[in-house]
């Protein structure tokens, strides 16, 4: 009978030990899982640094995009202004030879005609004046630099001739007038320049 009680008690102790072991296992598992869930301070600081760096990166990208858009807007505005200011430049380059011809016709007619009341000469003068007035209204300025110092930015020297009566590097003859459109050179004046006697 005693053996039966001992045998009956033995399985109870084994079960108790198993229960204790399983409880210990559950405690350690719950401790591990709580460690997994709650990050350490180092991890939190590191993730915060990553977030701040990412925010700074996207801030920088946004600032660059905004600056690029402002540059594009300014460039577009400048292009529109230039189109308004200099849009007729190509047309002007094509019309200038016509004006040159009219002025040459007036010059030749004045040299050949003895009568100043010649109706043809008067008509050519009026056409030439009308042409010049239209160009002036559009911002076109003629360059007739006779007697002025030679300026390579505005004049094209065709030749240099000795002339003791003029200062060296002065424009002594204008072969063809130059023109500017709103302060931009469209065509340089073709000139002959004086030089000192050798």
Expressed as residue numbers, the domain containing 77 is 48-86
Q: Which residues contact 185 (CB under 8 A, 6 or more apart)?
A: 153, 154, 178, 179
Residue 73 CB burial class (10 angstroms; 0-12, 13-18, ≥19): exposed
Question: pLDDT at residue 186 above 80?
Answer: yes
- Taking all residues of the chain, what is their mean pLDDT, rounded to a whole number? 82
Return the CATH number at 158. 2.30.22.10
Helices (H), 38-118: 41-86, 89-112
User: Cα–Cα distance between 80 and 77 in angstroms, integer?
Assistant: 5
Cα 190 to chain centroid distance, Å, stands at: 33
Q: In angstroms, how far is the first alpha carbon of the chain from the final one?
A: 151
Task: Examine the domain organization and report whether 79 and 98 are in the same domain.
Answer: no
CB 177 within 8 A of CB 144: yes
Domain count for the chain: 3
- Model confidence over 29-38: pLDDT tens digits? 555 544 455 5
pLDDT tens by residue, 55-90: 999 999 999 999 999 999 999 999 998 888 888 899
């Amino acid at each position: 009978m005693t053996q039966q009680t001992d045998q009956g008690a033995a399985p109870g102790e084994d079960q108790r030990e198993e229960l204790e072991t399983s409880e210990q296992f559950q405690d350690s598992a719950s401790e591990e899982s709580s460690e997994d869930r709650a990050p350490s301070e180092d991890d939190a600081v590191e993730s915060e640094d990553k977030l701040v760096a990412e925010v700074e990166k996207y801030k920088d990208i946004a600032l660059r995009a905004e600056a690029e858009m402002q540059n594009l807007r300014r460039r577009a505005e400048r292009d529109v202004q230039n189109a308004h200011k200099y849009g007729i430049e190509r047309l002007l380059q094509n019309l200038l030879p016509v004006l040159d011809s009219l002025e040459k016709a007036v010059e030749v007619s004045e040299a050949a005609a003895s009568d100043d009341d010649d109706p043809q000469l008067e008509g050519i003068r009026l056409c030439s004046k009308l042409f010049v007035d239209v160009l002036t209204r559009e911002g076109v300025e003629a360059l007739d630099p006779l007697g002025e110092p030679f300026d390579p930015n505005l004049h094209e020297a065709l030749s240099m001739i000795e002339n003791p009566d003029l200062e060296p590097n002065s424009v002594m003859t204008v072969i063809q007038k130059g023109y500017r459109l709103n302060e931009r050179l469209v065509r340089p004046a073709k000139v002959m320049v004086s030089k000192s006697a050798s």
